[in-house]
């Protein structure tokens, strides 16, 4: 037996945990499209401002950091003033090349078979296994339950939209 309150709490915590896992995946976009570099400091011996760490070098905990977009350099055909086609090297932030989609749990529905009774003033649930026949039929090992979770696309945040639009504007200026 399990108390109704404990059952609802356990289901709620499981759904919150699943939602948090989706949000962590959404935040992972930062790791996928940006590189973390130590924030330049104006102290003697710290190196010139803007000096980035070597790729793959971990940043010490507690160190102020800056996120720099991961970019690729592409050759882009362009007409020069003489009307000839020449290739320009264009620095393209990866985040401008992919559709950004994030997910969220919209709805979770749980259906289960159980017996319910009040014991010592508290509502209790009993997920009993009922066999469908005489004494010679083996009991099932699990109770019946059905869980439906609806995961839907989440609207991109206004801040992320503006950030990507800013990088897209810089990209347009490079190829115009």
Residue 83: phi and psi, rounded to 5, are 85, 5
118 or 57, which is more confident? 118
Positive/negative CA dihedral, 70, 75, 79, 80: positive
State the pLDDT confidence band at 132, using cuts at 50, 70 and 90.
low
pLDDT of residue 121: 86
pLDDT of residue 127: 81
Positive/negative CA dihedral, 168, 169, 174, 176: positive
Average pLDDT of 122-148? 66
Cβ of 26: how many Cβ atoms within 10 Å? 18
Residue 84: phi and psi, rounded to 5, are -90, 150
Question: CB burial class (10 A; 0-12, 13-18, 19+) of residue 110?
Answer: middle
pLDDT of residue 99: 82
Task: Give the span between the Cα atoms of 47 and 144, in whole angstroms.
Answer: 65
Q: What is the mean pLDDT of the chain?
A: 80
Q: Where are the domains of the chain?
A: 2-34+101-155
Per-residue pLDDT at 50 exceeds 60: no
Beta bridge partners of 65: 38
pLDDT tens for each residue of 59-104: 666 778 899 999 999 999 988 889 899 999 999 999 999 888 788 8
Do 160 and 100 contact (CB within 8 A), yes or no? yes
Average pLDDT of 133-160? 70
Per-residue pLDDT at 44 exceeds 50: no
């Amino acid at each position: 037996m399990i108390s109704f309150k404990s059952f609802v709490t356990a289901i709620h915590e499981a759904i919150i945990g699943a939602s948090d896992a989706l949000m962590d995946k959404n935040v992972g976009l930062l790791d996928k499209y940006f590189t973390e570099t130590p924030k330049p400091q104006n102290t003697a011996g710290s190196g010139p401002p803007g000096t980035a760490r070597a790729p793959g070098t971990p940043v010490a905990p507690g160190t102020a950091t800056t996120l720099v977009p991961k970019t690729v350099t592409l050759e882009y055909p362009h007409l020069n003033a003489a009307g000839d086609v020449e290739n320009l090297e264009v620095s393209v932030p990866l985040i401008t090349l992919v559709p950004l989609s994030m997910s969220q749990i919209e709805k979770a529905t749980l259906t289960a078979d159980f017996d319910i009774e009040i014991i010592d003033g508290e509502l209790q649930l009993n997920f009993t296994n009922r066999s469908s026949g005489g004494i010679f039929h083996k009991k099932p090992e699990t109770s019946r339950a059905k869980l439906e979770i609806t995961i839907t696309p989440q609207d991109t945040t206004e801040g992320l939209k503006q950030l990507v639009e800013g990088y897209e504007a810089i990209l347009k200026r490079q190829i115009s």
